[in-house]
Structure formats: structure tokens, C-alpha cells
Amino acid sequence: MPTGLKRRASLWLLLLPMLMWIGFLFVLPHIKLFLLSFQDRYTGAFTLKNYATFFTNPLYRGVFTHTVVYSVLATLITLAIAFPAAFVVTKVLDERAKALVVIAIILPYWVSELIQAFTWMVIFRETGILSYLLRTLGITSHNIEFLYHNWTVIVGLVYTSLLFMVIPIINSLETLDDSLIEASYDLGGNFWSTMREIVIPHSAPGIMVGSIMVFMLVLGNYVTVTLLGGKNSFWFTENIYDQFIVRFNQHQGAAFSVILLTFSVLFVWTVLKITKQDITEAM
């Protein structure tokens, strides 16, 4: 075998496990899902009925819109918390303190999302820690149920997403030469103008990657949303779960899945276009 061919063959061999993984566990199921979504539940014949259900039923549309709006909100809040933290970690703290803070940020992710959600439940439930504290401090006279509100869901989602926002932003800020910040001050800039004109434009790729990851994770989240939001969470993934598991309507669930996937891809693509970011550059 010629050496060039041999090398190419060995490269493919290295990629094979990953390709198989993606092929069998991602591509094939999605093809099946896609086909299912166009089939009649009973006859298996081609139909657009499953999609029609989504577009005609205001409940599904409403839940979908709610999911998107709150996902954007959760992403923005995550960004608002993560960016200052990443800035302090990279530009203010010394090496030792920086390592400690990064560990502190990563540490919560050593437990699964499920445990994280349960922890929030312990804090927020009617007989939970927060309620108890407020009562013992005399701020309220009786227990308050903090769970099952939109903002509870947001708190949980932001918490599980922070890491995925902080790390890319830290990476992008680390490549920012400190002397650029000094130069900005030297030329008369203040904190805000330096942020707006130097720091944020420089870390835009990191912000973009973080936001895309967080948005995708939040949009497709199920565990945190269900546990902290309960029946009131109105998250679209619950509709999908409902169709597959509760109503046993795979075809309808498949259509919902395809809608969610298509939308999130289009949404991210549009945001990238609007902000003039290049996906390959951002990644």
C-alpha cells in the first residue's frame, strides 16, 4: 500500500470510534426520528399531521415560545454572572487565587445535574432551608413554597450552565494582552469604555461559544426544569417526554423533537449571522 494511502487509512482508523459513536447514537436515531415524524401513528403512511398538531394547537406553541424566551433569558443571566467572574479570574487574581476560584467553579459539577436539582429542592421547598431561615428570622410568619416558579427554574438552569459559559470566556480573556487594557486607560479610557471597546470585543468569540452551549443545554434541559418547575415549568422537552412515554405517541414526539432541533439550529445560525461571528472562528 502506498504510504500516503496508508497514512490516510490510519487517520480514518483513529476517527472511527468517534464516527461510529456519532453514526449509531446520533445520526441513525435522528434519521429514524425524522422518518417517524412524517408517519401516521396507526397506518404508517406519510402525513404532515404531526406537524400540523404543533402549529394548530396554541398550547404547544405557547409552551414552545415560553421555552425559547426563558432559555434566552437564562442564557443572558448566565452571561451576566459568568463574564465578570471570568474577568476577575483572568485579569485581577494572582495565579494561586485563580486556581482556587476555578476549582470552586468546577467543583459543583462533580455531582450530577440530578443531585444539583435535588439540592435546590432542599433549599427552595416549603419546608426547606430558605423558608425556614425567613421564618426563624421573623421575616415571614409561615412557610413559603419557593419551588415551581419560573424564576426557580431559571436559578437552577443558570446554576447548571455557569461552567459552560465561564470556561470559554476565561479562555478568550487569557489571550487578551494586559497592556491593551493599560493602553486604553493611558489614552483616557475608563472602566466602562475599556470594557465596551477592548475587553468585550476581544472576548466575543468566547462569549459566543459559551452562549451557544448554554442556550442549547438549557433549551434541551429536562431534569432541572421538571424537578424545580414541576407542572408549572411549561418546558417543551416535557411535551416531547409526554408524547413518547405517557401518551405512547412516538410519531408526535418525533415531530416535536425535529421542530426543537431545527429551531435551535436556525436560532443559533441567525444569532451568529446578526453578530457577524464565524462559527469556525468562534469554536
**Which residues sit at the interface with another protein, rule CB under 8 A?**
177, 179-180, 182-190, 193, 197-198, 201-202
CB of 216 to another protein, least distance (A): 27
Question: Given the complex with another protein, which of 209 and 217 has the nearer CB atom?
Answer: 209
Residue with smaller CB distance to another protein, 93 or 130? 93
> Which of residues 195 and 223 has its CB atom nearest to another protein in the complex?
195
Q: How does 121-139 read in b/e, with b if 16+ C-beta sit within 10 Å? A: bebbbeebebbeebeeeee
Rounded to the nearest whole angstrom, what is the least distance from the CB of residue 187 to another protein in the complex?
Answer: 4
Least separation in angstroms between CB 201 and another protein = 4
C-alpha to C-alpha distance for 254 and 39, rounded to whole angstroms: 10
Burial letters for 143-174: b for 16+ Cβ neighbours within 10 Å, e otherwise? eeebbbbbebbbbbbbbbbbbbbbbbbbbbbe
Cell digits of residue 111 = 455531582
Q: Which three cell numbers stand for residue 184?
A: 486604553
Q: Whole-number minimum distance, CB 171 to another protein, in Å?
A: 17
Query: Cβ(33)–Cβ(254) under 8 Å?
Result: yes
Nearest-angstrom CA–CA distance, 15 and 142 = 60
Nearer to another protein, 69 or 183 (CB): 183
Residue 194 Cβ, how far from another protein at the closest point, in Å? Answer: 9
**CA–CA distance, 204 with 209 (Å, rounded to integer):** 9
3-state DSSP call for residue 39? Answer: strand
Nearer to another protein, 23 or 201 (CB): 201
